[in-house]
Each structure stands twice: as structure tokens, then as C-alpha cells.
């Protein structure tokens, strides 16, 4: 009966051991997988941080260029205002120096423009077209003569020269503004590109993190199963050890009983009592004969 029990326990112990080793192998494999995903996650996050850092650098440059755009726009607008002011000053001076009683230069130019528009847009008879051509020529001569007289004015010449200088300065700031705006746009596009790449890598890192958690949870479950199997294994080994100890103890007790009985028989032998064949064999086995 004890032998059958021991054999059954040995088989259960073997199954528990195999189960424990199976779960340990799976746990270790899942731990390796978790480490792989963690390493990939960390690598992707590092690359994302580097890209975000570069994007931030381009953002800083963009902001500096935008500040220059704002500053330059203020200067350009100031010079444009100066140009408009001096244009009004020139127009005023021209009006002052126009011949008394003559048609204002602005009105002559308006008439010229109206006639040119009429010539281009209306169907005219040959006579009417010739009339308009002659009138246009007359207006052009009048305008030219007036402008020549005005340009000969030293005061107007000085104002025109100053106006040209102001216009050049305004244009200079306009060109500079355009340059800063282009550079700001370029830095903005680079910033967006780096931030988008960083976001993409962060998304990949999040996916790797999910894979890491999945593998870690499975690993923890396998470890729990491993511990349960090891507990069963330990319990079986304790029971088997108890049985072996009990068997050994019984064997020792049997030996002691045989030895004590042999001593009793030997004492009887020394007294000359008659012994059975069984008694003699026990004495012989016990070393008394």
C-alpha cells in the first residue's frame, strides 16, 4: 500500500516539476519579449525627444524671424507714410506753381485717361477717332509742358529727390520684411516637419509600450503559475520525504526488535534452554553464533 502511494506521489511530483519548468520557460521567454519592447520603446522615445528638440530650435528661430518681421513692418510702414506725406507735399507745391487760371494738372490727366478709355472701348467713326487722337495729342503736350515747368522748380526738384530717397528706403524695408517672412516660413515648415516626425515616433513608442505591458502581464501570469506548480512540487517532496523517513524509522524499529529478541534468545541459550530452528537462525543473523 505504501509502495503504491509512493509511486503515485512520485508521478504527481514529476508532473508538478514538468509543469513548473513549462511555466518558467514561458515566463522567461515573455520577459525577454517585454525587455525587447521596452528597449524599442525607449529608443523611439529618445529619437522623438531629439526630433522635438530640433523642432523647438526651429520654432525659436521662426519666432525670432517673426519678431524681425513685426519690427521691420513698423519701419516700412513709417517710411511708406513719409512717402505718402511727401507725395501730398509735392502735389500741393505743384498746385501752387500751376499757371493762374489754367486747368489743374490732375484734371488734365483725368481727361487724358477718360479719352484713352473711350478710344479703346467704343466703336467710333473715322472722323470721331481722328478728333480724339488730336485731342489726346493736345492733352499730352499740355501735361508735358506743365510737368516740365514744374520739374524745373528747384523746390519741387528737391522734394522729388527726397521722395525718391524715401521710396528707396521704404522699398529696402519691404524687401527686408519679405526676406524675414520667407525665412520665418522656412523655419516654420522645418519645425512642423520635425514635430510631425516626433509625433509619429511617439505613437510608435506608445504601441511598443502596449506590447511591453501585454508581454509583462502574460509573464506575470506564467510566473504565478510557476510558483503554484513549485508549491505543489514542494508539497509532494515533503510528503515523500515523510514517507521515506517513516519507512526508515520502521526499518530501524524492526531491527531493534530483532536485536532485542535475539538477546533474549541468547540468554536462554546460555542457560541451556532448548531453542527452535527459527531461534537459532535469528541468533546467527544477529551475530550471536
Per DSSP, the residues of 11-27 read HHHHHHHHHHHHHHHHH
pLDDT in the model for residue 175: 97
CA 62 to CA 204: how far, in whole Å? 28
Q: Is the pLDDT of residue 67 over 90?
A: yes
Mean pLDDT on 85-101: 79
What would the pLDDT profile of 255-265 be if each residue is shown by its tens digit?
A: 666 676 667 76
Residue 250 or 221, more confident: 221
Residue 66 or 116, more confident: 66
Task: Express as a percent the part of the chain with pLDDT over 90.
Answer: 46
pLDDT in the model for residue 167: 96
Contact (Cβ atoms closer than 8 angstroms) between residue 45 and residue 283:
no
Q: Is the pLDDT of residue 145 over 80?
A: no
- For residue 24, how many other CB atoms are within 10 A of its CB? 17
User: Has domain 2-99+160-242 been given CATH number 1.10.287?
Assistant: yes
Name residues whose C-beta falls within 8 Å of residue 89's C-beta, 6 or more positions apart in sequence.
159
Contact (Cβ atoms closer than 8 angstroms) between residue 233 and residue 16:
yes
Residue 217 or 115, more confident: 217
pLDDT in the model for residue 110: 86
Residue 71 or 254, more confident: 71
C-alpha closest to that of 228 among 17, 9, 5, 6: 17
Residue 193 or 137, more confident: 193
Q: Is the pLDDT of residue 100 over 70?
A: no
Q: How many residues does the chain have?
A: 289
Residue 205 or 14, more confident: 205
| Dmax (CA) of the chain | 182
What would the pLDDT profile of 151-189 be if each residue is shown by its tens digit?
A: 667 788 888 899 999 999 999 999 999 999 999 999 999
For the chain, give every domain's residue range: 2-99+160-242
Q: What band does 273 get if pLDDT is binned at 50, 70 and 90?
A: low
65, three cell numbers: 524671424
Q: What band does 36 get if pLDDT is binned at 50, 70 and 90?
A: very high
What would the pLDDT profile of 221-247 be if each residue is shown by its tens digit?
A: 999 999 999 888 887 777 777 667 666
C-alpha closest to that of 116 among 92, 95, 90, 143: 143
CA 45 to CA 208: how far, in whole Å? 10
- Please state, rounded to an integer, the average pLDDT across all residues of the chain: 84
Residue 249 or 138, more confident: 138
Amino acid at each position: 500500500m505504501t509502495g503504491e502511494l509512493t509511486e503515485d506521489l512520485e508521478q504527481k511530483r514529476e508532473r508538478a516539476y514538468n509543469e513548473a519548468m513549462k511555466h518558467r520557460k514561458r515566463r522567461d521567454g515573455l520577459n525577454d519579449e517585454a525587455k525587447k519592447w521596452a528597449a524599442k520603446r525607449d529608443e523611439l522615445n529618445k529619437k522623438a525627444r531629439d526630433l522635438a528638440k530640433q523642432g523647438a530650435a526651429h520654432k525659436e528661430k521662426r519666432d525670432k524671424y517673426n519678431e524681425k518681421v513685426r519690427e521691420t513692418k513698423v519701419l516700412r510702414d513709417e517710411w511708406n507714410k513719409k512717402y505718402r506725406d511727401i507725395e501730398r507735399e509735392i502735389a500741393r507745391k505743384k498746385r501752387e506753381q500751376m499757371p493762374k487760371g489754367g486747368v489743374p494738372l490732375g484734371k488734365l490727366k483725368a481727361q487724358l485717361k477718360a479719352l484713352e478709355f473711350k478710344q479703346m472701348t467704343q466703336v467710333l467713326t473715322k472722323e470721331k477717332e481722328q478728333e480724339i487722337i488730336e485731342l489726346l495729342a493736345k492733352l499730352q503736350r499740355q501735361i508735358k509742358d506743365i510737368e516740365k515747368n514744374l520739374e524745373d522748380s528747384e523746390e519741387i526738384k528737391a522734394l522729388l529727390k527726397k521722395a525718391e530717397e524715401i521710396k528707396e528706403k521704404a522699398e529696402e524695408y519691404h524687401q527686408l520684411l519679405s526676406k524675414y517672412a520667407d525665412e520665418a516660413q522656412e523655419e516654420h515648415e522645418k519645425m512642423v516637419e520635425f514635430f510631425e516626425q516626433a509625433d509619429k515616433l511617439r505613437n510608435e513608442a506608445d504601441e511598443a509600450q502596449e506590447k511591453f505591458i501585454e508581454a509583462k502581464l502574460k509573464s506575470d501570469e506564467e510566473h504565478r503559475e510557476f510558483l503554484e506548480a513549485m508549491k505543489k512540487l514542494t508539497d509532494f517532496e515533503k510528503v515523500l520525504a515523510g514517507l521515506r523517513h517513516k519507512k526508515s524509522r520502521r526499518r530501524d524499529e524492526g531491527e531493534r526488535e530483532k536485536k532485542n529478541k535475539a538477546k533474549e534468545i541468547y540468554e536462554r541459550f546460555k542457560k541451556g534452554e532448548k531453542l527452535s530452528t527459527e531461534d537459532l537462525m535469528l541468533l546467527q543473523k544477529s551475530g550471536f553464533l
